[in-house]
Chains A and B, each alone.
Chain A
Amino acid sequence: MAEFWQQVVAGLASGGIYASLALALVLIYRSTGVINFAQGEMATFATYLAWTFMHHGFSFWPAFFLTLVCAFAGGVAIERVVVRPVENRPVLTVVLVTIGLLVLINGLTSSIWGGAVRKFPSPFSTRPIHVAGVAFSIQDIGIIGVSLAAVLVLGAFFRFTKLGLALRAAAVNPGASRLVGVRVSWMLALGWGLASALGAVSGMMVAPVVFLDPNMMQGILLYAFAAAVLGGLDSPLGAVVGGLTLGVLLNLLGTYVSTLGGEMRLVAGLAVILAVLIVRPSGLLGKAAVRRV
Chain B
Amino acid sequence: MSRPRHALRAAGVAALVVVAAVLPSFISDYHALEWATVGTYFIALLGLNVLTGYSGQISLGHGAFMAVGGYTSAILMAHHGVRDLWTIPLAGLVAGGAGLLFGLPALRLSGLYLALATFAVAVAFPALVKKFEHFTGGSMGLILNLPKAPGGLHLSSNDWLYYLSWGIGFALLGLGALVSRGRIGRSFRAIRDSEVAAASSGVSPAFYKTLAFGISAFYAGIGGSLVAIETAYVNPQTFPITLSLFLVVGVAVGGLGSLVGCIFGAALIEFLPTVAPDIARHAPSAIRDQVTPSVIQGLILVLVMLILPGGVAGLARLLENRALGPRFER
Contact = CB atoms under 8 A, between A and B. Distances in A.
Are chains A and B native binding partners rather than an unrelated pairing?
A: yes
Contact of B128 (A89, A107, A267): A267
Taking residues whose C-beta sits less than 8 angstroms from the other chain, chain B's interface range is 35 or more
Contacts of A95: 58, 112, 115
A151 B296 CA distance: 37
B117 interface: yes
A35 B298 contact: no
B298 A102 contact: yes
Contact of A278 (B108, B195, B301): B108
A162 B68 CA distance: 51
B132 to A, nearest CB: 11
A97 interface: yes
Given A104-B301, A264-B131, A277 B249 contact: no
B321 interface: no
B124 A99 contact: no
A100 B124 contact: no
A91 B289 contact: no
A204 interface: no
A96 B131 contact: no
A71 to B, nearest CB: 19
Interface string A46-83: 00000000000000000000000000000000000010
Given A93-B305, A281-B108, A281-B109, A108 B123 contact: no
B196 interface: yes
B113 A104 contact: no
A270 B115 CA distance: 14
A161 interface: no
B252 A92 contact: yes
A270 B123 contact: yes
A288 to B, nearest CB: 11
Contact of B309 (A89, A233, A270): A89
Nearest to A90: B256
B301 A100 contact: yes
B197 interface: yes
B298 A91 contact: no
Contact of B116 (A97, A229, A278): A229
A100 B289 CA distance: 20
B119 interface: yes
B245 interface: yes
A263 B236 CA distance: 12
Nearest to A34: B112
B130 interface: yes
Contacts of B196: 291, 293
A112 B127 CA distance: 33
A241 B177 CA distance: 46
Interface string B286-330: 000111111111111110111001000000000000000000000
A240 to B, nearest CB: 18
Contacts of A291: 110, 195-196
B165 interface: no
A87 to B, nearest CB: 10
B306 A111 contact: no
A116 to B, nearest CB: 16
A237 to B, nearest CB: 18
B290 A112 contact: yes
A257 to B, nearest CB: 13
A281 B110 CA distance: 8
A274 interface: yes
Given A100-B249, A111-B291, A281-B109, 10 more contacts: A96-B305, A104-B294, A105-B298, A107-B292, A107-B298, A271-B124, A274-B117, A277-B108, A277-B113, A289-B111
- Please name the 8 residue pairs, one residue from A and one from B, whose CB atoms are nearest each other, closest first: A104-B298, A107-B294, A100-B301, A263-B127, A103-B298, A100-B302, A107-B295, A267-B124
Interface of B: 52, 58, 105, 108-113, 115-117, 119-121, 123-124, 126-128, 130-131, 194-197, 245, 248-249, 252, 256, 289-302, 304-306, 309
29 contacts: A35-B116, A91-B112, A92-B252, A95-B112, A96-B305, A97-B302, A100-B249, A100-B300, A100-B304, A104-B298, A104-B299, A106-B294, A107-B296, A107-B298, A111-B289, A111-B294, A229-B116, A229-B117, A264-B131, A266-B124, A266-B127, A267-B124, A267-B131, A270-B120, A270-B124, A277-B113, A277-B117, A282-B113, A291-B196
